[in-house]
Amino acid sequence: MLWLFAAYFLRDVRTSRDTRDLQILPFQPRNEVLAMTVERIIELLNIEHQCILRNTNGNCDRNCGVCDLVQKDADLDEMYTDAIAILKAHEPRVMTLAEAVEKNVVWYDWRTLGVRPAKVNRVPSKTGTYRVQRFGDIDDWVHADEYGEYWRCWTSCPTDEQREATPWS
């Protein structure tokens, strides 16, 4: 099943309960040096997927010879290690305000209103003021000194459990 989750994230699409068709910009692993290219990981995951689809009894015993002709155990180990690293890099985390301003899309978390996709822009004419453009909704005008106390931004859409487990300043 790992191939399913990895393929989902490697296609650079992140859906959530709030926006089913929102496309996020291409994924860049942070602080990760991958042993394989993302393209190679996708290629190997597709081979694994095809093997699963060919297998009629639902259990792959790796005795068909097809996978072994194309993949080596070392390749599989690197592939799964890298796929896990990519998936872990997609886990939601609270960003710094500077990170939020630099990203094109963030998940804006207003303490009492919940999480929505948005764009954070600094307002040059007003020191410490930011305009949060919530997609499909009204804009918010917020202050930097309230970041982490009343509002914050996530790298990807957090679950309700993740929001509750992450303390506010």
The neighbouring-strand residues paired with 106 are: 118
Cα separations in angstroms, 44 against 33, 39, 76, 135? 18, 9, 8, 36
Residue 51 has pLDDT above 60, yes or no: yes
Share above pLDDT 90 across residues of the chain, in percent, rounded to a whole number = 31
Domains assigned to the chain: 2-89 (no CATH), 97-165 (2.30.30)
Predicted local confidence at residue 22, as pLDDT: 38
Predicted local confidence at residue 102, as pLDDT: 92
Contact indicator for 121, 129 with CB cutoff of 8 Å = no
Predicted local confidence at residue 146, as pLDDT: 95
Rounded to whole angstroms, how far apart are CA atoms 152 and 142?
10
Please compute the mean of the pLDDT values over residues 27-51 and round it to a whole number. Answer: 66
Contact indicator for 140, 132 with CB cutoff of 8 Å = yes
Residue 76 has pLDDT above 60, yes or no: yes
Predicted local confidence at residue 60, as pLDDT: 60
Q: What is the pLDDT of residues 113-157, one digit of tens each?
A: 889 999 999 998 888 999 999 988 889 999 999 999 999 999 988
| Residue 134: both structure tokens together | 């919530």
Contact indicator for 52, 7 with CB cutoff of 8 Å = no
Cα separations in angstroms, 39 against 43, 63, 99, 129? 6, 26, 27, 41
| Residue 152: both structure tokens together | 């914050």
Sign of CA dihedral 158, 161, 164, 165: negative
